[in-house]
Amino acid sequence: MVCEKYLNLKMIEILKLLALMDAHKRVVKISSKELADKIGQSFQTAARKLKELEENGYILRTIDKDGQYIVITENGEKLLYKEYLDYKKIFESVEEIFIRGKVMSGIGEGRYYVSLDGYRKQFREKLGFDPYPGTLNLKLPKEQAYLRRRIDEEDGIIIHGFKTEDRTFGEVKAFKCKIGDYEGAIVLPQRTHYPKDILEVIAPVKLRDKLGLKDGDFVEVEVFL
């Protein structure tokens, strides 16, 4: 069974390449050497893979003195479509991600900004809660960097910047989240002294006390995209 699954994966690789050449729409001409160059394999490997596709009924192939002509069959399209549905399930059903970080003390910056009326009013209106004046700061391990970038790429909930007589305060992007049994939000300020591996979480309660957290503890946050 494992061997069959492996063969299917290898055949999908070639089917995808042929489909990108429109072989699911029309007969295309491609030599084994040309295919070998495209997949970075030997001529013999490319020829063997085409033979496997043909024997499994995923392509129809005609070889004559002018070259090799290939079209993807209905079974081949079904195999590709199943693969497409798997990827669709992976990428289109992602509504939340789980990110894990180590609790650390901040520099008091979060407490100051969360307390500002220009932000606080928007937090209440857009996030649905009045935040405790302070943030829970999490330092993310290296293996969490990809998930952190995923969050950066999403639109999020925009908390607009504002001006006072003294200075201008920048925009903040927020995402609702859940940490333990408590609802909250992660906040990504446009301007911050923190590096990218620090995540700030706000909530209507003091999370350190409610969850019994201390510096060095690891905690997981469910972030809603």
| 82 labeled part of a ligand binding site | no
| 143 labeled part of a ligand binding site | no
* 87-124 burial code (b ≥16 CB/10 A, e <16): eeeeeeeeeebebebebeeeeebbeebbeeeebbebbe
| 111 labeled part of a ligand binding site | yes
| 67 labeled part of a ligand binding site | no
With 0-12 CB in 10 A as exposed, 13-18 as middle and 19+ as buried, what is 154? middle
| 106 labeled part of a ligand binding site | yes
Structure tokens at 211: 């969850």
Structure tokens at 39: 């997949």
| 208 labeled part of a ligand binding site | yes
Rg over alpha carbons for the chain, rounded to the nearest Å, is: 27
| 225 labeled part of a ligand binding site | no
| 168 labeled part of a ligand binding site | no
| 101 labeled part of a ligand binding site | no
Residue of 9, 28, 154, 14 whose CA lies nearest to 91: 154
Provide DSSP, 124-142.
IIIISS---SS-EEEEPPG
| 8 labeled part of a ligand binding site | no
Say how far apart CA 133 and CA 33 lie, in whole Å: 66
| 192 labeled part of a ligand binding site | yes
| 107 labeled part of a ligand binding site | yes
Beta carbons of 221 and 98 less than 8 angstroms apart: yes
Binding residues: 106-111, 135, 137, 192, 200, 205-208
Binding residues for FMN: 192, 200
Binding residues for Mg(2+): 135, 137
Binding residues for CDP: 106-111, 205-208
